[in-house]
Structure 1
Amino acid sequence: MKRSTKISAIMHKLLIEKGMDGFSVIELRDASLSVCDLRKVPDEARKILYRQILRFVSNGWLESEGEGRDKRYFQTDLFRSLNVKPKAERKNASSTAKPTSDYSVLRHERNQYKAELEIVLGEIDEYQSLNRRFPELEQRLNPMLQQARNRSAHLFGRVNVLTNVINTIFSDVAEC
């Protein structure tokens, strides 16, 4: 499976979602200002985007033609072949911070359930091993095996729920 490459959310939105190719820095800046109002100062947006462009050029993801204000950037085949995903943007210090300490209990609970699940899965493996080694005990071991399977399904459900909730809480990507 191909590993995904993470790029900034704004570059993902502009290059992947909007499909920009053959653009100048100013065109990219203007498109970013129309798509995302995080950077209302055009000069700051241009600087941020130009740093991204330079990084992409150094990685071989963009190539340039022309000079000065006539310089245009084109996506390379290498960039098009990448499995690209947007990075989660960091929240600004001025934005309201969510109390992550309140949710740490969810991670703790999930880790406890995971540990219990590991133990129960070990029990299941051992019951199955004993069933293979001692077929005459199968009648006695099967109820315990079934009980362990039920506990594992219950614990697996809890782990999944907590994982989904934690991912939802902590994957609040600042979308433009």
Structure 2
Amino acid sequence: MKSAVKLHPYIYNLLIEKGFEEFSATQLKDALLKITDEYSQVGEARKFIYRQLLRLEALGFICKIEKIDGHSKKFYKKTELFYSTTFTSGKIPKNSRLQAVPATVDTAASDVDIFLNDIKKEKVIHEAKLAVVLSEIEEYQSLMARFPKKKSYLTGLYQQAKNQSAALLGKVTALSKVLGQDSSEHHIC
């Protein structure tokens, strides 16, 4: 059974309960300001929404689209991955407002954390793409078995999918090694 992906309660409310399908960052920010008074400044709410949108986009749950009606506007829409994923509402952090970073924070450590989070996100995306390509390969194999006379027609597509899966597997393996290397370095320290 797949585990559910936790969303910030406000984002869960907007995307799941209120059912936003296609939306701009401004529309989400305005809706956020209507459901909570936690953000005393509009700028804080805007930053929160952008952080959440970047996270969801990096994980492949939403994608950017451009609408041109007089002038170009950036919108987001839910992807197929979003609809095939189970989401739960996380707990509201005790203080989710933006705070100034204390001067004593080790910036090198935070750079490493940002790097590792980016690597983890990339790995999740490549793993999802790999799963799709592996399913595609299985389907080509099934079609070739069911329709042996069309094997020559399907072989090119099958080979192309195999090459794509090898490339994706290479990326996943490399990212896994980077993440494994980091965890072994942390244990040595």
Q: What TM-score, normalized by structure 2, do the two folds share?
A: 0.46
Indicate the structure with greater strand content: 2
Decide which structure has the larger Cα Rg and report it.
1
Structure having greater relative contact order (Cα 8 Å, sep ≥ 6):
1
Q: What TM-score, normalized by structure 1, do the two folds share?
A: 0.50
